Amino acid sequence: MVAVLVSFVTTLFIAALRFVPPPTTAFMLYSRVADPATGLACDRVDYQWVGWARISPNVPRAILVAEDQRFFEHQGFDTKAIEAALDEFASGGRMRGASTITQQVAKNLFLWPGRSFLRKAIEAWLTVWIEALWPKRRIIEIHANVAQFGPCLFGIEAASQRFFKTSASRISPDQAARLAAVLPSPGRMHVSNPGVFTKKRARQILKEMNRGGGPSYLEDLSLFGH
């Protein structure tokens, strides 16, 4: 009975978030105790919601290039990426992640850092409902707003203000690429003082964003008013 009630309340909350900004997230709350980027408690979590119309189109372009190039092809789970990760692991490589943007949204909103089968199972269940209840634009919008870009720092507006002294609406392609480059690990990768790998990753993202005519998966952004 308790599990049914929790499932019902969670689904209602997901449905509500299609229309209202999340006041906080599980990762932000967790940061009060142990920030996922540093492991240290945050005295203050920097988070400012900004709506789609006030986000530069460079931001979703960079995020799609960096994190989920088949975003418009799947319904929350990129089977091709999962198969590639499993093949690499079977061949002796390390087990790398294959999470989609939708899965990352589910994790950031409702779950906790770290890896476990339990968390992945809950994440998968949440991912199904997010894809069912939100349009693709909303998924990207929320991801841009709740993703962690640095210690105690969440969302594209707060990150834009901290690193570039400007609003999310004025982010350039180069700045968007630099922000997207740190998303896999905002504790080890830094926007303001990037290492060699982070600089290389940002250049690759920017190159893909600017590739002749633009990658086909970025054309779908035109449906969103970008």
pLDDT recorded at residue 10 = 86
For helices 101-110 and 136-146, angle between their N-to-C axes, nearest 10 degrees: 50
The per-residue pLDDT for 201 is: 97
DSSP 49-99: ---GGGS-THHHHHHHHHH-TTTTTSSS--HHHHHHHHHHHHTT-------
Q: Is 101:71 a contact under the CB 8 Å cutoff?
A: yes
**What is the chain's mean pLDDT, rounded?**
89
Whole-model pTM? 0.89
Q: Compute CA distances 33 → 36, 112, 158, whole Å.
A: 9, 12, 20
What are 104's two structure tokens? 């990352």
Give the whole-angstrom CA distance, residue 1 versus residue 17. Answer: 25
pLDDT band at 5 (very low <50, low <70, confident <90, very high): confident
Rounded to an integer, what distance in angstroms lies between the CA atom of residue 63 and that of residue 209? Answer: 10
According to CATH, the superfamily of the domain at 2-224 is Biosynthetic peptidoglycan transglycosylase-like (1.10.3810.10)
How confident is the model over 121-171, as pLDDT tens digits? 999 999 999 999 999 999 999 999 999 999 999 999 999 999 999 999 999
Domain ranges of the chain: 2-224
* Residue 9 confidence class, pLDDT cut points 50, 70, 90: confident
